[in-house]
Structure 1
Amino acid sequence: MLNKMVHIRTGPRKNSSNIETTTTRLPSNRLFSRATRQQPREPPRLQPLSNQNSIAPAPDADERSKKSSTEDSENDDDGNASTVQLPPASSTYTSYPGGAKDIKPRMEDTRLDALSISARLATAGITTSSSNSIVMKERSSATKGLVGLQNLGNTCFMNSCLQCLSNVPLVMRYFRMGQHLQELNEASPTQGKLACVFGDLTQVLWQQAEFSSTRPVELKRVVGKLASRFIGYEQHDAQEFLRFLVDGLHEDLNRIKKKPAYYEIPGTATDKDVSEEYWQFYVQRNVSALSEQFCGQLRSEVTCQTCQHRSVCFDVFWDLSIPVPKKGKSLASRFSAARTDDDNGVPVEDCLRAYTEEEHIKEDDAFYCAKCKTHRSVVKKINLQRCPHVLVLHLKRFSYSTFSRDKISTPIKFPADGLNLKEFCSKDNLHYDKSWDYDLIGVIHHMGSLNGGHYTAECRNPENDQWYDFNDETVSGIKKPHVSSGTAYILFYQRRGAHG
C-alpha cells in the first residue's frame, strides 16, 4: 500500500510578515516527518526652488545623517515626513532624493498652479493638507503607468516591488477600477488598511500620466504600523518586502469569511486525488484577487533508501526561490555542462532544473521513516503540480554561512518570451495546466554588495506592451529588458494567454 504524508500550508507563506501563518498537518498514516524546505534616516524633503534656473543637488548620505537628528520633531511616529510642500507653478528641476548618484536631475515643465494641482489631487481622492499621503508633479507624456516613486531614504527596495506588482495586468486593473473596495476583509489582521493604501497608490500611478513622480508616504506609514521591521529608513531585502506586501494584500482581500472545518484525506487515495483534495482544502479558506494570480502547488516526494517506501506531500507556493551557482562551479549534477564561466550567463532553466532535481539527504538531516522507526537516508524530488498565472522566481543571490555572507553575482540568462515550464511539472500537471509558456513582465535588479546597494525595476507596460526602467522617481523607456544579468534578483513571468 502506498503511504503518503501530506502537509497543508494554510497561509500564503511562512514567516513573511507579522500576519500569523500556520502550517496544518492533517491526521493521516503518512510515513515521514518532513523538514521544511527553505524558500527559499530621515528622507530629504522636497522644497520649492526659488531659483528656477538652478539645480538643487540631492544631499548625500552624510548630509542626511547630520540633518536627521534636528528634524525628528517634524516626523510622525513611524519616522516618515508628515509635511511635503507642493512644487511652485513654474518650470522646475527635480532633484533625485536618495537614489543612485549617477542619475541626473530632470527638468519638468509644470503648467499647473497650486490650486489646479489641488483640484486634480482631490479628483483622485488625494488631499493636499500637511497630512497628505501622496504629492505629485506633472509630466507632459500621455502614456499611462509611467509615474515614478520618490525615494524616502533607502526605500528603493519598496519602490521596485510596488512598480512590478502594479504592472501585473490583472492586479493593476483590479485596483485601478476600485474592485478592492468591494472585497475588503476588515476582519483580517491588517483590517483592510494595506489594500486601501495600495489601491490609492495604484490609481495614482495609472492616472493619465500627468505627473512625473509621487511620494508613497502613506503606504510606508501603514507598512511600518503593520510590520515594525520596516519602520525607519534602513535598506531591506526586496523579496522580504514583496512577500509581506502580497501576503498582506491577500489577507485584506480574502473572500472567505468563515472557514470550513478540517477533515482527513484517506491514505489510500491516489496522488492526483490527494493533490485535488488539498488544493480544494486550501482554496476553501483562501481566495482573493492575489491568490488567483500567484498561487501554485508543489509536489514533494521522499523515498526511503532502506525500505523504498515513499511519502508524498503537496504545498501551496506563492513564489519559488531557486539556486544560483557561484562563478566557476557547476549548477546541478545532472547538468554539469552548464557552467558559470559562460559569458552569456547561466540559463534560468538550469536554475529550475537544480531546484527540481533529485536531492540525496543523509540520515542526520531530520528525515524520519515511520516504517523503519529511525532516521534514514532519503531521496527527495520536487515538481510543479499546478502552475500559477503569475510565476515569481527569486534568484538566491545572497549566500549565508557561519562565518561569512556573500552576494553571488553570476549572470543569469532568462527569456523575455517563451519560458516553458513543462519539463519541471509532475505527470499529473497535465490535468490542470493547458499552457506552460510564460512571458516576462517584470524584473527587480539589485546593484551593489550584500551590505548595501540599490534596487531598480524593469516592467512591461500592460497597455502598450513596451518596457520601462523604474529607478525610483526616474522612469525611462527601454527597447528590451536586460535578459542576461548579474544583477537580476526577482523575475515576474505571466502565463501566456492569462492577460484577462
Structure 2
Amino acid sequence: MPEKPATIAAYAAGASLAAITLFYVFGPNFTIDGEDSNISGRKKGIVGLSNPANDCFINSVLQALAGLGELRVYLIRELHKRDLEGAEIYDALPPAEDLRAGQDAEKVQKLQLAPVTRALKDMLDGLNERPIYKKTISARAFVIALELAFRTRISRSQQDAQEFLQVVVERLCDEYHAGERARKRALRNKLATASTSLPMANGSEELSKEEIDGENASAAMPTIELAHAESVTESENGFPLEGMLESQIECQHCKYKYKPKQTTFVNLTLQVPQKSSATLSSCFDGLLKTEFIDDFRCERCQLIYTLEQKVKARSRTSSEKTQELLSNEIALLKNAIENDPEIIPEGVTMPSPSEVPRRKIAKHMRITVFPKVIAIHLSRSIFDHAFSTKNAAKVSFPERLALGGILEKKWYKLLAIVCHKGSHNSGHYESFRRNHVYAPFSTPDAFRSYAQSRSQSQNPSTFPSPRMKPSSSSKQATDDITPLNMSPVSRSPSTTTSTSSFPAAGGTPTDTATTSSIPSRPASGQAQMSAPHLSPEQPRSHSQSQSMSDTQSGVPDRAPSTSSSSIRRHIDAALPGDLLSPKRDSTSTRRNNAPTPSPESPRPSTSSRFRWKKKPNERWWRISDEKIRECKTTDVLNMQKEVYLLFYELERPSDEA
C-alpha cells in the first residue's frame, strides 16, 4: 500500500516524458505541414543570405532567381537528364569540326560539365527551404564556382546587379547549349555505330524482295531516328530565360526590305525616358517601336545609282571595248538588283561612298521567341561629357504584362523585382519575391512515368475503377427491368431527353448529352426501378460505357411515349437533388420538343458552376541585409522610383483560368 504513490508518480513521469518526446518529434512537422499552419500565430520567414562585404548586388539577384519556378524546373530537369545520360558524354572533348571559329576544346568541355548550373541549383534549393527558425546561409560556394568557371576574381567593391545577372544567365545559357550539342553528338555517334554494325548480305546470295525491303528499312532507321532527334525543338524544355529578337530595315526610298537579323537575348535592357514619370509600356516602345533613321546608305539604292551612271557612261563613249565592258557591268548590276542587292557583284567598279545618295530607313524590331521567364533591366544611367548620373524617374509597371501582337499575345506575371536606393556610383540593393509555395517537383501520378525517365513498358489504362453505389433493388426486380436505351440513334420522336454532365477520365468535366428512352411497363408484375446512381464527381469508366453499349441490342427501336412527370421522377432518382436548380426545372419542359444536340456539341458543365475562383496570391517577401519582412502586391507596385530589375514569368493556361 505505501508503494502506490511511488508507482503513480513513476507512471506520471513516464507519460509526461512520452508526451514531451512525441511533441519534440512530431511537433515541427505538424507546424510546417499541418492544415492550420497558415492561420497559426507563428512568425514565418525565408532563408536569408549573409553579407560579409558589399555583396548586396549578389544577394538580391540570387533571391530574385530563387522565386522563379520555371528556372528551378529547368535546373532539376537538366541535371536529372545529365545523370541519366552519364558523365562520359560530357567529359569527352568535342571534335575540331564541331568547334566554332575561335573556340577552345577545353573551354567547351568545361561548359559541358555545367559547374555553374549545379552550383546555382544547390544555391536555390537552399534559399527555398522552409525554415522553422531564422536561418541565414552564405553565397560563397556559388561565388567560388563562378570564379573558377571564369578564372577570375569577383571584386568586393560596389558592383552593378544587372552586370552580375548578365554574367550568370549567359553562363547558364552557354552550359545548356554545350550540353545539348554533346548529347546530339553522342546520339549521332551511337546511331552511326548501329548503322555500321547491321548484318551485310553476302554478294553470292540472292535476297528476296521482302528481305531487301527489310534491310533497307533497317538501314534507314538510324537516319530517321537522327532526323527525329534533331527535329525536336528546344522550346519546350529549353533555357527558360532565352528569347529571340528579330530586326529588319526598310528603305523609305526604294521600299527594299533587308533580310531580317535574329539575335538571342537572356535579358532585355530598356531605356528609361528622361522625364518625371513613365510606364513600362513606354519603355518597351523605345525598343520595339518603329525607329526612323536618316543618312543611311542603302545597298539597293547604291546599285541603282551605279547602274544609272554606267548607262550614261556607255551612251557617251564611242569605244567598242569600253561599251562591251560597261554592258557586262550593267548586266551584273541588274542581276544583283533583282536577286540580292545586299551583295555587291564582283567585277563592277563602284563609285565613291561620298557620291552615293543617303536615304531614310525604318527599323522594325519584334520578339519572335518569347521566353518562359523574361528579365527586364531598366537602364537609369544618364551619361554626360565627364560624369554620369542616375535617372530618378518613376516607372509604373503592371502585375500582369502583355507582350506580342493581337494574334499571338502572351501574358506574363510578375514574380520578383530588384530595387536600388542611392546614387549612380553607390547605394544599396534589395529584392522582392512573391511568396510562392510550389508543389514538390515529383511525379504527379504514381502510375505514370516521369517525363525524362526511360520506361520499359507501356503504362496501363489510366481510366479509374468505377465507384458505383450499391443498389437497393432485389435480384428479381433487377432481372425484370428492361435496360435503358442510351443510344441517340434508336431514340423515337416521342422520347424525352435529359442532359447530364460527367467528368472525363482525366478528371476534367466534359459535357455529354445522354438520351434516356424509358419503355412502358406491363400492368402486372411491375417492379420499382432504381436507376444506376452515378455521381457527377465520379468519372465514367470504360467498362461502364461498354456495358451500356452492350445492352442496347436488347432494347426495341421504338418505345411508347412517356409523360414529362414520369421522366422527371427518373431524373430525380438518378441525380442528386442539389444539382437540380430551379432554372433547369423551368426549362426542362421546353427542351422536350427541341432537337437533341449531338454528343460532341459543347454544353456548360454543371460542376463548373460550383467552381470557386482561385484567390490571387498577394503575399511578398521584402529582403534586405537588415531583415526580411512580408508585404503586399500594392507595396511592390509602389516601388516605381527604385525599381531596377523585373522578372516576369509566362502564365500557364491553368493560371489564366
TM-score grouping bracket, smaller chain normalisation? 0.5 to 0.7
2:387 to 379, 391, 404: 404
Q: CA deviation at 1:191?
A: 3.5
2:120 to 198, 206, 214: 198
Q: 1:229 to 1:475 in 2, by over 3 A?
A: farther
Aligned to 1:494: 649
Aligned to 2:180: 256
Q: 1:230 to 1:442 in 2, by over 3 A?
A: farther
2:623 to 470, 478, 487: 470
More helix by share: 2
Q: 1:476 to 1:220 in 2, by over 3 A?
A: same
Matches within 5 A, 1:56-135: none
Q: CA deviation at 1:446?
A: 1.0
CA distance in 1, matches of 2:163, 2:648: 19
Q: CA deviation at 1:163?
A: 0.9
Aligned to 1:305: 252
Aligned to 1:454: 428
CA distance in 1, matches of 2:112, 2:57: 21
1:82-133: CA deviation from partner (whole Å, max 9, x where unpaired): xxxxxxxxxxxxxxxxxxxxxxxxxxxxxxxxxxxxxxxxxxxxxxxxxxxx
- When Rg is computed on C-alpha atoms for both structures, the one with the higher figure is 2
Equivalences, count: 311
Aligned to 1:217: 140
Aligned to 2:271: 323
> Could you tell me whether the CA contact under 8 Å between 2:115 and 2:149 is conserved in 1?
no
Q: 1:288 to 1:307 in 2, by over 3 A?
A: closer
**TM-score when scaled to structure 2?**
0.43
Aligned to 1:168: 68
Q: Are 2:149 and 1:226 aligned?
A: yes
CA distance in 1, matches of 2:359, 2:232: 35
Secondary structure at the counterpart of residue 462 of structure 1: coil
1:151 to 34, 51, 62: 51
Q: CA deviation at 1:287?
A: 4.8
Q: 1:470 to 1:253 in 2, by over 3 A?
A: same
Secondary structure at the counterpart of residue 154 of structure 1: coil
Range with bigger deviation, 235-244 or 476-485: 476-485
Matched to 2:372, the amino acid is H
Secondary structure at the counterpart of residue 242 of structure 1: helix
Matched to 2:180, the amino acid is I
Aligned to 2:210: none
Matched to 2:630, the amino acid is G
Q: 1:244 to 1:325 in 2, by over 3 A?
A: same
Matched to 1:478, the amino acid is C
Aligned to 1:180: 79
Matched to 1:256, the amino acid is E
> Could you tell me whether the CA contact under 8 Å between 1:147 and 1:473 is conserved in 2?
no
CA distance in 2, matches of 1:360, 1:472: 45
Secondary structure at the counterpart of residue 467 of structure 1: strand
Gaps of 5+ in 2: 1-40, 84-89, 92-108, 186-226, 304-355, 439-616
Matched to 1:451, the amino acid is N
CA distance in 2, matches of 1:448, 1:289: 40
Gaps of 5+ in 1: 1-139, 261-279, 328-339
1:180-239: CA deviation from partner (whole Å, max 9, x where unpaired): 254375624373221121111112112232452111111112222334665230122111
Q: CA deviation at 1:245?
A: 0.8
Matches within 5 A, 1:46-57: none
CA distance in 1, matches of 2:301, 2:232: 33
Aligned to 1:25: none
**TM-score when scaled to structure 1?**
0.56
Percent identity reads 23
> Could you tell me whether the CA contact under 8 Å between 1:306 and 1:376 is conserved in 2?
yes
> Could you tell me whether the CA contact under 8 Å between 1:256 and 1:287 is conserved in 2?
no
Q: Are 2:414 and 1:440 aligned?
A: yes
Matched to 2:402, the amino acid is N
Matched to 1:308, the amino acid is K
Aligned to 2:292: 360
Q: 1:179 to 1:143 in 2, by over 3 A?
A: farther
Secondary structure at the counterpart of residue 111 of structure 2: coil
CA distance in 2, matches of 1:357, 1:178: 37
CA distance in 2, matches of 1:447, 1:498: 37
Q: CA deviation at 1:379?
A: 1.5
CA distance in 2, matches of 1:372, 1:421: 37
Q: CA deviation at 1:284?
A: 7.7
More strand by share: 1
CA distance in 1, matches of 2:364, 2:146: 37
Matched to 1:234, the amino acid is S
1:388 to 361, 371, 377: 371
CA distance in 2, matches of 1:178, 1:142: 33
Q: Are 2:302 and 1:372 aligned?
A: yes
CA distance in 1, matches of 2:253, 2:302: 8
